[in-house]
Structure 1
Amino acid sequence: MLNTVGYYAEFIKLCETGNLFEAADELYLSESCLLKHMHLLDEDIGHELFSKCSKQVELTEYGALYLSFAYNMKSICKDFDAKLTELEIKNSSIVKLAIARTMNCDHIVNMLSDHFQDRYPKYSISPGEFSRTVTLPQAFHMGYELVFAVDSTQASDDYCLFPWSSDRLVAILPLSHPLSHHKSVNLSELSNDKFILFPEGSFLYKYSLELCRNAGFEPQVDFTIHGTNNLAELVSAGIGVSLTTASDIMAIKQHRVAMVEITPTPPVYLNLYYQKDPPLSKPAAVFLDYAIEIHDTHSNDIPYHGPEGEVGNVYFE
Structure 2
Amino acid sequence: MDESTEPLVNALAPRLELLRALAEHRHVTRTAESLGVPQPTVTRWVAELGRTLGAPLVTRQGRGIRLTRAGQLLAEAATEALAVLEGGCRRAAEEVDPERGHVALGFLHVFGRSLVPDLLRRFRAEHPGVRFSLAQAAHIHIVAKLLTGELDLVLTAATPSGFPDRLHRVPILDQRLVVVLPEQHPLAGRAEIGVAELAEDDFVQLEPGFGLRLITDELCAAAGFTPRIAFEGQETETLRGLVSAGLGVSLLPPAERMRPPGVVEVELTPRLVRTVELVWAAGQRLPPAVRAFRDFTLRAAPAQA
Contact 2:146 2:281 in 1 (8 A): no
Alignment partner of 1:112 is 2:119: yes
TM-aligned CA distance change 1:263 to 1:113, over 3 Å: same
State the Cα distance separating 1:162 from its structure 2 match: 2.6
Aligned to 1:239: 247
Aligned to 2:293: 287
- 2:141 aligns with one of 122, 134, 137: 134
State the Cα distance separating 1:278 from its structure 2 match: 1.7
Alignment partner of 1:172 is 2:176: no
Contact 2:182 2:249 in 1 (8 A): yes
Alignment partner of 1:209 is 2:217: yes
Aligned to 1:183: 191
- 1:250 aligns with one of 246, 251, 257: 257
- 1:276 aligns with one of 245, 265, 282: 282
- Cα distance in 1 between the residues matched to 2:96 and 2:233: 40
Contact 2:135 2:142 in 1 (8 A): no
TM-score, structure 2 normalization: 0.61
Contact 2:204 2:231 in 1 (8 A): yes
- 1:101 aligns with one of 83, 101, 109: 109
State the Cα distance separating 1:193 from its structure 2 match: 0.9
State the Cα distance separating 1:99 from its structure 2 match: 2.1
State the Cα distance separating 1:259 from its structure 2 match: 0.7
Deviations 1:10-31 (A, max 9, x none): xxxxxxxxxxxxxxxxxxxxxx
Query: Which structure's CA Rg is the greater one?
Result: 2
- Cα distance in 1 between the residues matched to 2:94 and 2:280: 14
Contact 2:192 2:269 in 1 (8 A): yes
Contact 1:105 1:148 in 2 (8 A): no
2:218 aligned counterpart, secondary structure? helix
TM-aligned CA distance change 1:108 to 1:192, over 3 Å: closer
TM-aligned CA distance change 1:108 to 1:219, over 3 Å: closer
- Cα distance in 1 between the residues matched to 2:209 and 2:134: 22
2:187 aligned counterpart, secondary structure? coil
1:182 aligned counterpart, secondary structure? coil
State the Cα distance separating 1:161 from its structure 2 match: 2.3
Contact 1:163 1:270 in 2 (8 A): yes
Contact 1:187 1:215 in 2 (8 A): yes
- Cα distance in 1 between the residues matched to 2:139 and 2:239: 14
Deviations 1:159-197 (A, max 9, x none): 222322111221111112111111111111111111110
Contact 1:209 1:219 in 2 (8 A): yes
State the Cα distance separating 1:249 from its structure 2 match: 4.4
- Cα distance in 2 between the residues matched to 1:258 and 1:180: 6
Aligned to 2:54: none
TM-score, structure 1 normalization: 0.59
Aligned length, in residue pairs: 208
TM-aligned CA distance change 1:212 to 1:138, over 3 Å: same
Map 1:1-317; keep pairs closer than 5 Å. 91=96, 93-102=101-110, 104-131=111-138, 134-141=141-148, 143-151=150-158, 157-158=164-165, 159-246=167-254, 248-250=255-257, 253-295=259-301, 299=302, 306=305
- Cα distance in 2 between the residues matched to 1:288 and 1:135: 16
User: Structure 1: where are the runs of 5+ without partners?
Assistant: 1-86, 307-317
- Cα distance in 1 between the residues matched to 2:212 and 2:243: 17
Letter in structure 2 aligned against 1:209: D
TM-aligned CA distance change 1:142 to 1:152, over 3 Å: closer
User: Structure 2: where are the runs of 5+ without partners?
Assistant: 1-91
Identity percentage over the alignment?
25
Deviations 1:20-64 (A, max 9, x none): xxxxxxxxxxxxxxxxxxxxxxxxxxxxxxxxxxxxxxxxxxxxx
TM-aligned CA distance change 1:190 to 1:89, over 3 Å: farther
State the Cα distance separating 1:123 from its structure 2 match: 2.6
